[in-house]
Amino acid sequence: MTDVAIRVQGLSKLYRIGERQRYKSLRETIMRSLVAPFRKGGRRLPETIWALDDVSFEVMRGEVVGVIGRNGAGKSTLLKILSRITEPTRGRVEVCGRVGSLLEVGTGFHQELTGRENIYLNGAILGMKRAEIERKFDEIVAFAEVERFVDTPVKHFSTGMYLRLAFAVAAHLEPEILLVDEVLAVGDVSFQKKCLGKMGEVANQGRTVLFVSHDMTAIRRLCQRAIWLDTGRVAQVDGVGVVVDSFLNSLGGLGGATKTWPVATAPGDDSVRILSVAVTNTMGEPRESLALSDPILLVLRFEVNQEGIRLNPVFVVKSTLGVTIFSTANYEDPEYGHRLYSSGTYQATCTVPAHVLNDGLYVVDALLVESTRFVRAAAAGAVSLSTYDDGSTRGDYLGDWVGIVRPRCHWRAEKLGRLRD
């Protein structure tokens, strides 16, 4: 036996549009079959959509692989086929090992039943043996922190308790292959930390995990490799960093880390011309994607054909929605705005400190301004950049961190005194 845990070959799934929600009524079917012989052009085929289209990949045993893509890219359909909830239309999957799927927490929980009863029921639904549930019962209850309420019907549970219990049962499933769909996006911060820890534990035990999520941070944290699905096809399979970067870039649909112009089309005129713009890391290597804790280098190359021109290179950083985040120029130059350039080629580098931007996609404009007033050359949207959250400034919180910028602020909290009785 090879070390392949999941082998997917030419997997395709056809959905009739609307089939997922709609069901037929008997009358409709009878009417249609009555009318059919009289209809011209024979039977009309229903409109269909390939939710998965010739998808092939392999997952090795012990690998933690992320599945990313836009909504409707086929991620959930893929997990549903792998967990045998629905059948593929074409293709073949070989799965080696017991599969546990976590497409939702609390599947089959019944409001009227107590915590204890639901643990048994849910465990059985997830495929655990009774003896196995009995053995792990205390551990599950402790993990969920619901010891005192274990004999209370879950309808009296708070949402947090309910989710904790639901996840706890699922987390104690011990299959060789675990399929997880976005379940970590529940619960409060401390519980998310626990879930993540448990997931890491699972991964460390040599189990194979296929993890679907929109949360690129969690994907980067947990996975070694990633599969990017785009409209039902595999767009890329590679190391997690590479795939997440190209996925994020695709969302912006933008140039990339570097842009170089031929002289004929270069922004500017005969006297001042922009040659190239680049986003790099501190080593000077072009990067489309940088962590929040990385300083970002914006590099502008230009040529000057006019002696003694007063020039001022400027960068403008915008969000992909067009909001200007900030603009920057070399204010620290004592000759700011007055520096005279002789003819030649130049490179201006601006370092954006770490922990300024939030995670997201950004577009950079590069400008050459004469005497702080006249724009001589402008390269709008020259390069794009995605920043990702490497966890350096979020602790254990896994949700969206709102805000256009995400500066690292200084905080202090201190006790002022006791409460008066």
Partner 1 sequence: MNSAEPLPLVVIEPTRGLAALRLGELWAYRELLYFLVWRDVKVRYKQTALGAAWAILQPLMTVAVFTVFFGRLAGIASDGLPYPLFSYAGLLVWTFFAQGLSQSSNSVVGSAQLITKVYFPRLVIPIAAVLSGLVDLAVALPVLAAMLWYYGIWPSLAVLTVPLLALLALVAATGVGLWLSALNVEYRDVRHVVPFLVQLWLFVTPVIYPASTLAPRLQRLGLPPWLWGINPMTGVVEGFRWAMLDAPTSPGSLIAASTVTSLALLISGVYYFRRVERSFADVV
Min CB(17)–partner 1 separation in Å: 12
| 90 near partner 1 (CB under 8 A) | yes
Cβ-contact 8, 55 below 8 angstroms:
yes
For partner 1, how many residues bind (rule: CB under 8 A)? Answer: 52
| 213 near partner 1 (CB under 8 A) | no
| 49 near partner 1 (CB under 8 A) | no
Q: Which of 155, 165, 164, 90 is nearest to 122 (CA)?
A: 165
With respect to partner 1, which residue has the nearer C-beta, 21 or 71?
21
Distance between CA atoms of residues 172 and 201, nearest Å: 11
Residues 85, 87, 92: CA angle, nearest 5 degrees: 120
- Reduced to 3 states, what is the DSSP secondary structure of residue 265? helix
With respect to partner 1, which residue has the nearer C-beta, 178 or 298?
178
* Out of 40, 112, 283, 415, the residue judged to bind partner 1 by CB under 8 A: 112
* Out of 87, 332, 335, 421, the residue judged to bind partner 1 by CB under 8 A: 87
Q: Which helix (H) or strand (E) holds 137?
A: helix 130-144
With respect to partner 1, which residue has the nearer C-beta, 1 or 35?
1
Distance between CA atoms of residues 390 and 270, nearest Å: 44
Min CB(8)–partner 1 separation in Å: 9
* Out of 86, 231, 258, 349, the residue judged to bind partner 1 by CB under 8 A: 86
| 46 near partner 1 (CB under 8 A) | no
| 278 near partner 1 (CB under 8 A) | no
| 408 near partner 1 (CB under 8 A) | no
Could you say which DSSP state residue 288 is in?
S
- Reduced to 3 states, what is the DSSP secondary structure of residue 207? coil
Contacts (CB under 8 A) with partner 1, residues 55-84: 80-84
State the sign of the Cα–Cα–Cα–Cα dihedral 309, 314, 320, 322.
negative
Both structure tokens of 150:
């274990």
| 91 near partner 1 (CB under 8 A) | yes
Contacts (CB under 8 A) with partner 1, residues 18-37: 19-20, 22-27, 29
At position 49, the amino acid (one-letter code) is: I
| 97 near partner 1 (CB under 8 A) | yes
Distance between CA atoms of residues 397 and 131, nearest Å: 35
Distance between CA atoms of residues 111 and 118, nearest Å: 9
Distance between CA atoms of residues 294 and 386, nearest Å: 12
With respect to partner 1, which residue has the nearer C-beta, 129 or 408?
129
Both structure tokens of 228:
């990017």
Contacts (CB under 8 A) with partner 1, residues 303-362: none
Binding site for partner 1 (CB under 8 A): 1, 15, 19-20, 22-27, 29, 80-99, 101, 103-104, 107-108, 110, 112-113, 117, 120-121, 124-127, 129-130, 176, 205-207
